[in-house]
Amino acid sequence: MTIEEKVGQMSQSTSLATPFSENIKQEIRQGRWGSFLNAGSPADRAEAQRIARQESRLGIPLLFGRDVIHGYRTIFPIPLGQAASWDPALVEAAARTAAREAAAEGIRWTFAPMLDIARDPRWGRIAESPGEDPYLASVLAAALVRGFQGASLDDPASVAACAKHYAGYGAAEGGRDYNSTWIPELLLRQVYLPPFHAAADAGVATFMTAFNALNGVPASGNSFLLREILRNEWKYSGMVVSDYNAVTEMIAHGYAADASDAARKAVNAGVEMEMVSTSFRDHLPALVKSGDVDRKTIDNAVRNILRLKFRLGLFDEPIPSPATSHVTPDSLAVAERLATESTVLLKNRNDLLPLSNSIGSLAVIGPLADSRVDQMGTWVMDGRAGDVQTPLAALRQMLGDSRVHYVPGLRSSRDTNQQEFSAAREAAGRSDVVLLFLGEEQVLSGEARSRAYLNLPGAQDALVDAVAAAGKPMVAIVMAGRPLTFRETADKVDAILYAWHPGTMGGPALAGLLFGRTVPSGRLPVTFPRSVGQVPIYYAHLSTGRPPLASELGVPAGTPVDPHGYTSRYIDLDFTPEYAFGYGLSYTTFEYSNLRVSAATVPMGGTVTVSADVTNRGSREAPETVQLYLHDVAASVAQPVRVLKGFRRVILKSGATETVTFSLTTNDLAFYNEKLQPVTEPGQFEVWIAPDSAGGVKGSFTVK
């Protein structure tokens, strides 16, 4: 290969789009591009592949990539919603479905999963995140890689996955997208890197560098991340791609002087393919000639790119014929099940839910009840609104048009016009129960959609007040891309279902939950604050030297001049979250009891089992996600008050009891010490088997 052909393989373009220009065709013949992003129609991709395979000098196939984030044609809940299912097998099935649909149209590379730990709901991209916990995120990372890549990458129905954004992007300062992150290495290794390591261990084909600067060094020029950790420590053998224009954005970061300097720093740090910007193509040949970039560095990068294309079977398989993906009964079944399992029941006063099938009529209020586009959420480049089944449509199908009184109330979630409020109140007055569909429309979450406030946008709170005046039981169904703060509204309604953006089948899933055909089982993958002023808030925090006291909850906090107590809390708001990590209600009641630890003392290198009885005290069969938490009481580096170490989904019939057992080795108790070494230290450990991060039954054991 010539140096130009090598650098061509290291370059990805977005310029293949309908109409397919003669200029691009000629550049493909010349080996100018190795990959295309968001590349035209299936017919365009097939023709581009034919030219690359049959008319270029070396016949190297192209690799077509796309953001297949939470579905391709069939749209599943947003990733944060999928994490709320705590069901890795179902998440894997959704990714497998998305891979089949994308691969059928010539897409063999997805820029997912996004594995950024996110503890700031102001950040718009929390919608794409697996949440705040490294253990849950790591389990889901492996599931997503398995789903996208299948049993083998050369399966024509598989796509190469991409672990992004490496690394630390979820800690963007101020919750603002593209912003800097400052993460001590100990915290980086303990919290932010584990999901990426899990993806690497699961065989993820590619990594993507993040937009952010980590501790002053942009991720696309960060050899500590890309060479020291990824290559040397983790022995990763896949390919590394930059994010969109991220190489040349190092100039704006103040890290690179110009495009040539950016190309030099990126490729020497370990970036092997440049997405969209052209600094590699424009400057790498000269940088190799001058000796600023070693030719071996280029050769190793191209080997990794070509190896991926070989693993995908692109050199061997026939040039694909143009094809179009469609939703299928199977894909819709997976989408409905995942939308069901992702929905979290946050409140159910007086067991209002599930509603009786004999109910007279419903008032359905809110624009999100019948907004196909908003229901899909962020990053749905190939989803089609015509495939989406909304809650309004599902409820009308279930009950008949005459029993469903629909008033949007607002034109969108951001609307402040109250002209329809009287009609909404009238509809509520002649109905037995009110369903309020609240939250965020599609454009309010996702990339470049950070928010300074987390309240319900527009006049939604006022709409709730207007409808509440009718005096009817009210259920709030919240569709959003992040945790929201809606405390006053929560106090006014009788039940709350948090549905995230649930995707194509969100309507039937919610109708089934509302009327008890299914039972809510979602659990929060992220802590919900009471106010934006609590952010960042997460369950696995340190205790501090003056931890707040439970006795201080709900008492007058005093004034800044005369505060009541000197503990780590607020003087104007309770320190606890609105809803804890792992929280979620059911249509039944589960009781946890009789925690047992297999041994009071565990030798280093040994194993301990922890068990508890979980009993369904209600009248319905239902699933429960049983969670295992641990606390290292005294260590050389202070440890969080709790950390998740396991979870199991069990289904219990009414009155049934199941003993749920978890097994831990002493390696599972390890943390990073001051020397950044993973160690397990002797000492006492507290352990909980719990329904969430704030409750459960407790025991202890000692490691010697």
Residues with a known catalytic role: 243
First to last CA, the chain: 59
Structure tokens, 253: 């970061």
Helix (H, G, I), strand (E, B) or coil at 454: coil
In the chain, what's the furthest Cα-to-Cα distance? 80
The amino acid at residue 74 is: T
DSSP summary character for residue 650: E
8 A C-beta contact, residue 32 and residue 296: no
Give helix then strand counts, H and E, for the chain. Answer: 20, 26
Helix (H, G, I), strand (E, B) or coil at 110: strand
∠ CA 619-625-631, nearest 5°, is: 130
Residue 248 to residue 246: CA distance in whole angstroms: 6
DSSP 201-247: HTT-SEEEE-SSEETTEEGGG-HIIIIIIIIIIT---SEEE--TTTT
> Could you count the other beta carbons within 10 Å of the beta carbon of residue 644?
22
Residue 56 to residue 71: CA distance in whole angstroms: 33
Quote the strand ranges of 375-525, DSSP E: 404-407, 433-439, 474-479, 495-498
Residue 460 to residue 467: CA distance in whole angstroms: 11
The amino acid at residue 171 is: A
Q: Are strands 404-407 and 11-13 parallel, antiparallel or unpaired?
A: unpaired
Q: Which residues contact 649 (CB under 8 A, 6 or more apart)?
A: 86, 87, 521, 623, 624, 625, 626
Structure tokens, 676: 């950044």
CA nearest neighbour of 534 among 497, 483, 494, 491: 483
Q: How far is CA 375 from the centre of its chain?
A: 16
Residue 474 to residue 490: CA distance in whole angstroms: 10
